[in-house]
Chains A and B, each alone.
Chain A
Amino acid sequence: MTKRTWTTSHKAVAAALAALIMLATGARAELLIRITEGADAALPISVVPFAENGAIPPGDKISEIVRSDLAMSGEFRPLPAEKMLSLPSRREEVYFRDWRMLGQRYVLVGELSRNDDRVVARYELFDVNQEKRILGETAAASVNSMRTLGHHISDKVYEAITGVPGAFSTKLAYVTLDTFNGKPRYRLQVSDVDGKRAKIRLESQEPILSPAWSPDGSRLAYVSFETGKPAIYIHELATGKRTKVADFPGLNSAPAWSDDGRSLLMTLSKDGNAEIYRMDLATRAVNKLTNHWAIDTEAAYDHAGEGMFFTSDRSGGPQIYHKESLDSEPRRITFGSRYNARPRPDDKGDFVYYVHQRESDFHIARTNLKTGVETVLTRTGADESPSLSPNGQMLIYATKQSGKSVLTVISADGAAAYSLPSPEGEVRDPAWGPIVN
């Protein structure tokens, strides 16, 4: 879809920037408790409205999408367009002194043109202090996919500055609940990470929960009660084709994909008690990975893809455990309070994120796997279903606002970012999709 035209040394720039970013993140970490001050440490960036040549579809403006994406990350503070002194669209029109005066660190300029049924964006990102271009590219998308193009540019800008791939082009899956004709209506939906372009994938009067993305983003596994009892389904998003893969007596729940997309971890109670099993999707054969009178559930593969994290109440209350390999002895990870559940590890092996009870409230917390230090990340009090963005920078979870379930996104170190609007009913059970190339 894209063609790179920029060839300067990306690495050197990224290294220099990485140093800056580390300083910036370090500063931000201290602002955790005062979430409203998070913006002070955010990087000032100007996303100049793109010049338009030819028939560009009205509606969403690329620059607005990019500005909103970058603001959403909590790491950037985009300048409102009305405060800009000029509106350049190419390098020769950029006067660095103007942007320095406005306190800007970065400036993104660009222009859009029409090529048959596609819109082509040519854009450049400048470091204001160094008066240097750090990114230049052309990218194209169908005229109906302006938001796709906008999120793509956000990803590139984010990566050029932070050295970490952006996740603005990824998808969210979640479940909404409202009432229709006096009956509950559960809907499994997939949207952009900003909540836009939501599409309903499944509707049922019975609960739907625990959506989980396949590693390639093409399928969702989830639990649906549509037959009156919980069963695990795999849903191909492109075709809508669904397969019921686990419908044993008792629980069929908590699906989690292996890295190769060929097997699922799941919780079954067919042998009398909630245990974790691994199912080979080709043969549907299951083998049992836990064997304890306690509840064992909520498994997730670890970053190496060899072992797993899971919840067990074998100590008397739910706590997080880790198995180095699927058949090794579990090691307890959490000790900080009497209720810690639903682990979600990052993909570097640094942290595991989970639901943590402190006094009467439930928060999202993380434990540093090297030091064992636990940090509570949220200040809301009825938090559940944490899901990490694929670049490890953000975390989405469900919480309550005015008695209603809503989704909130924070940066992975806990600085507050944004809540997703929920125009009707409740929104819960978010799952952040993978980066798909």
Chain B
Amino acid sequence: MKLSMHAKVLAMLLSAGLFAGCSSTGETVGDGTYDSDVAPVDDGSTVYGGDDEGGVSSSALSEEERMAAEERAKMEALRDITTFYFDFDTAEIKPEARDVLVAHAQYLANNPGQNVRLEGHADERGTKEYNLALGERRANAVQRFLIVNGASRGQIETVSYGEEKPAVMGSSESAWAQNRRVELVFD
């Protein structure tokens, strides 16, 4: 939750033109033009600049670039999320994790020198050895997802700790939910 807020704040700042200059073409994104379009959106949903009524035709290119920069910043912010959660005795990647994993996959694709270690975990329920295999199955599911989305196998190492390294101590539903996870660890 906290991290997706982060992503949204970044997107807002971007719309406000504060990230001007980070476009890949090196051109300066027209500043000021969209200032008025940026409402102080407190729920942080993605903010698109450009008011139809304002009809700013002169900055169509800048708009594209700005969108690209925004996308990149959004992806970067998404990548702050490195832990992915699972339901009991499953290795199914949750729908809400997909965008974030795509961001990680693209980052790995764009940075072939970057490696990542996927650490699979299970909650304490059930048996240790089965949980070890379950943690591996979860790490493998994430690995496959990253590869399908552009990362290469050589960049990824997996290890399962089973139920041995809980993120949260305790035997509550909430502790278990937080312990059924795969963590991405970048070198």
Question: Chain A residues in contact with chain B, CB under 8 A?
Answer: 207, 209-210, 225, 228-230, 250-251, 253-254, 267, 269, 272, 274, 295, 297-298, 311, 313, 317-318, 339, 341-342, 355, 357, 362, 382, 384-385, 400, 403, 429
Q: Which of A207, A251, A313, A429 contacts B165 (CB 8 A)?
A: A207
Q: Using an 8 Å CB-CB cutoff, how does the interface string of B148-184 with A read, 1 for contact, 0 for none?
A: 0000000000111110110001110000000000000
Give complex CA distance A362, B126 in Å.
Answer: 7
Q: Is the CB of A250 within 8 A of B158?
A: yes
Report B-chain residues with C-beta under 8 Å of the C-beta of A253. Answer: 129, 132-133
Report A-chain residues with C-beta under 8 Å of the C-beta of B134. Answer: 295
B residues 119-163 touching A (CB-CB < 8 Å): 124-130, 132-134, 136-137, 140, 158-162
Q: How far is the CB of A205 from chain B (nearest CB, A)?
A: 11
Most buried by A among B133, B170, B171: B133
Report B-chain residues with C-beta under 8 Å of the C-beta of A229. Answer: 159
Q: Is the CB of A297 within 8 A of B130?
A: yes
Q: Is the CB of A385 within 8 A of B161?
A: no
Q: Is the CB of B161 within 8 A of A225?
A: yes
Q: Is the CB of A385 within 8 A of B127?
A: yes
Give complex CA distance A357, B162 in Å.
Answer: 18
Is B37 an interface position by the 8 A CB rule? no
Q: Using an 8 Å CB-CB cutoff, how does the interface string of B68-82 with A read, 1 for contact, 0 for none?
A: 000000000000000
Q: Is the CB of B170 within 8 A of A403?
A: yes
Report A-chain residues with C-beta under 8 Å of the C-beta of B159. Answer: 228-230
Give complex CA distance A435, B140 in Å.
Answer: 42
Report A-chain residues with C-beta under 8 Å of the C-beta of B133. Answer: 251, 253, 267, 269, 274, 295, 297
Report B-chain residues with C-beta under 8 Å of the C-beta of A341. Answer: 126-127, 130
Give complex CA distance A357, B88 in Å.
Answer: 13
Give complex CA distance A311, B158 in Å.
Answer: 23
Give complex CA distance A207, B127 in Å.
Answer: 15
| Complex: chain A residue closest to B89, CB-CB | A317
Q: Is the CB of B127 within 8 A of A311?
A: yes
19 new A-B contacts at CB < 8 Å, known A253-B132, A267-B133: A207-B164, A209-B128, A209-B164, A228-B159, A250-B136, A251-B132, A251-B160, A253-B129, A253-B133, A267-B132, A274-B136, A295-B133, A298-B130, A317-B89, A318-B127, A342-B128, A382-B171, A384-B127, A385-B127
Q: Is the CB of A384 within 8 A of B171?
A: no
| Complex: chain A residue closest to B117, CB-CB | A228
B residues 87-140 touching A (CB-CB < 8 Å): 89, 124-130, 132-134, 136-137, 140
Contact A342 to B160, CB < 8 A, known contacts A317-B89, A382-B125, A382-B171? no
B residues 44-96 touching A (CB-CB < 8 Å): 89
Q: How far is the CB of B156 from chain A (nearest CB, A)?
A: 12
Give complex CA distance A209, B134 in Å.
Answer: 16
| Complex: chain A residue closest to B170, CB-CB | A403
Q: Which of A317, A342, A357, A382 contacts B129 (CB 8 A)?
A: A342
Report A-chain residues with C-beta under 8 Å of the C-beta of B137. Answer: 274, 295
Q: Is the CB of B127 within 8 A of A230?
A: no
Report B-chain residues with C-beta under 8 Å of the C-beta of A384. Answer: 126-128
| Complex: chain B residue closest to A360, CB-CB | B125
Q: Is the CB of A429 within 8 A of B128?
A: yes
Give complex CA distance A3, B128 in Å.
Answer: 44
Report B-chain residues with C-beta under 8 Å of the C-beta of A207. Answer: 161, 164-165
Give complex CA distance A274, B159 in Å.
Answer: 13
Closest 7 CB pairs of A and B: A207-B164, A274-B133, A342-B127, A295-B133, A254-B129, A341-B127, A298-B129
| Complex: chain A residue closest to B128, CB-CB | A209
Give complex CA distance A229, B137 in Å.
Answer: 15
Report B-chain residues with C-beta under 8 Å of the C-beta of A403. Answer: 169-171
| Complex: chain A residue closest to B160, CB-CB | A251
Write 16 A-B pairs (CB below 8 A) sorted by A numbering. A207-B161, A228-B159, A230-B159, A250-B136, A251-B132, A253-B132, A267-B133, A274-B133, A274-B136, A295-B130, A295-B133, A311-B130, A318-B127, A318-B130, A342-B129, A382-B125
Give complex CA distance A210, B132 in Å.
Answer: 11
Report B-chain residues with C-beta under 8 Å of the C-beta of A342. Answer: 127-130
Give complex CA distance A297, B127 in Å.
Answer: 11
Report A-chain residues with C-beta under 8 Å of the C-beta of B126. Answer: 318, 339, 341, 355, 357, 362, 384
Report B-chain residues with C-beta under 8 Å of the C-beta of A210. Answer: 128-129
Q: How far is the CB of A257 from chain B (nearest CB, A)?
A: 15
Give complex CA distance A254, B131 in Å.
Answer: 11
Report B-chain residues with C-beta under 8 Å of the C-beta of A357. Answer: 125-126
Report B-chain residues with C-beta under 8 Å of the C-beta of A269. Answer: 133, 136
Report B-chain residues with C-beta under 8 Å of the C-beta of A225. Answer: 161, 164
Q: Is the CB of B165 within 8 A of A297?
A: no
Give complex CA distance A420, B92 in Å.
Answer: 39
Report A-chain residues with C-beta under 8 Å of the C-beta of B161. Answer: 207, 225
| Complex: chain B residue closest to A429, CB-CB | B128
Report A-chain residues with C-beta under 8 Å of the C-beta of B169. Answer: 403
Give complex CA distance A318, B133 in Å.
Answer: 11
Q: Is the CB of B128 within 8 A of A385?
A: yes
| Complex: chain A residue closest to B137, CB-CB | A295
Q: Is the CB of B124 within 8 A of A382?
A: yes
Give complex CA distance A251, B129 in Å.
Answer: 10
Report B-chain residues with C-beta under 8 Å of the C-beta of A313. Answer: 89, 130
Q: How far is the CB of B136 from chain A (nearest CB, A)?
A: 6
Give complex CA distance A269, B120 in Å.
Answer: 14
Give complex CA distance A209, B130 in Å.
Answer: 12
Most buried by B among A298, A313, A317, A384: A384
Q: Is the CB of A362 within 8 A of B125?
A: yes
Give complex CA distance A270, B132 in Å.
Answer: 14
Give complex CA distance A385, B121 in Å.
Answer: 18
